[in-house]
Structure 1
Amino acid sequence: MSRRRLIGVGGAAAGGLLLAGCDNLASDDKLARIVRSAEDASRGFQRFAGRDALAREFSRADMSPVFKVNGTREPVDADYQALKAGNFADWRLTVNGLVANPLSLSLAQLRAMPARTQITRHDCVEGWSAIGEWTGPQLASVLMAAGMQTRARYIVFRCADDYGGEVSKGGPQSTARYYESIDMIDAFHPQTILATMMNGAPLSIGHGAPLRLRVERQLGYKHAKYLMAIDVVDSLAGYGSGHGGYWEDRGYEWYAGI
């Protein structure tokens, strides 16, 4: 039996609620409990299947002719626009928090690291999917270079993503910027990479340039675009509303397994 069928009842209920809108989830305790029960089932099944169980990988012949751009198409933040104008030569990915060796990595340095290429299916909570090829260093390599402390529990990804300046979606006039987080099991999964390339070319702006997370066993909103910083932490309490991600703060599942 597929994982989708095994948790189909809870997952279908949660998916319908998500598509109906985050405000419903945030304002209704009963609906939120349904989502949390589906999340627990999802996480439990994936952990049972194995920490290193791989998401299906495809051939180049399977790749989608069009890979939809979703969410922010281009951050309007002035700092991001300046980085874009310089072809991201001055962009740096910082790695801070519970690490022995804080890092500040250029795009060239990330591209020089040993890379993994994988062709996987991106599943969006809105109901569409697409298959694409992603290339970049494994997140585990970056974390090991930073020397994580033993009490680290989560990896938080902070982004330049501002939803095009829309106040209702967390633009620069509000206090919210896109962020995401995963636990150590997913952080060290072999398919969790920091993608610098898509389909054999540098990431486009719409797909998250200069860098995006690929965490292949979870839904698309976990694959944070426009990465600026990685924080290694022992708690998610200091970020947003404390639920571990931009959409999670608005009612979505934190563990969005597929």
Structure 2
Amino acid sequence: MTKRIVALVDDLFFQQPIESAAQRLGYAVEFAGPTNDIVAYLVVRQPWLILVDLNTKSVDWEHWVMTAKTSPATRKMPILAFGSHLDAASIARARQAGCDAVVSNGAFMADPAAMIQKHARLDESEALRRQAQDPLPELAHKAIAQFNAGEFWEQHETFETVWRAEPGPVRQMYQGILQVGVAYYQIQRRNYDGARKLFQRAWQYLSVLPDVCQGVDIAQLRADAQAAMAELERLGPERIAEFDPALFKPIRLVEAAQSTQT
């Protein structure tokens, strides 16, 4: 998965150093423009860091930050803002809106790469790859059996026990599957908004996983969840009763040996 930074920055004075520093660190930068759905935009991109120039004019940065930090699907995304040290009002607004850190323009520009490294989310990919080769816990097998039997609420309770007991990054797999299952449950209950939000929440977990994790076919699960969400959005809340339950695809388990090749 591409390591991405989303930047609410429209000044070339900042854009060029940001892009240069990010590329040296292995990040792709996307300079955001206006969008009708901030959460959906961020869910698709899963940025490792959101940069905010407090003097940007192309977007309402305060609305962006508050939206990102109030949605369960995006609130864990770190936000670093920078602005004039003389603009105490904007700095205070940025902190109140939910920015994780606010620094002066001078501090940021002194070493953009160091700022990015310090504030971007922790890279757990190596630890996750190691854990992906472990066998699936017995209780997780039970949760998957419940999921595949259409017991979407029951799998939620079982997976919650599994992920709460797991301190390592592989817990994201259990959380992601759990969220997809509850999204299916909400579709059954004709709860459009609830289902859509749960699909979005699931993506922060599923997007970071290898294609096969502890013998679970994560690539297929991602594709199935995306197809279900696309159909949900196509139908909209008015036609959710027409949702085809055949789209509630079972979770596939593959040979454990394959997980070591991913």
> Normalized against structure 1, the TM-score is what?
0.23
Higher share of residues assigned helix: 2
Higher share of residues assigned strand: 1
> Normalized against structure 2, the TM-score is what?
0.23
Quick one: higher RCO (CA 8 Å, sep 6+), 1 or 2? Answer: 1
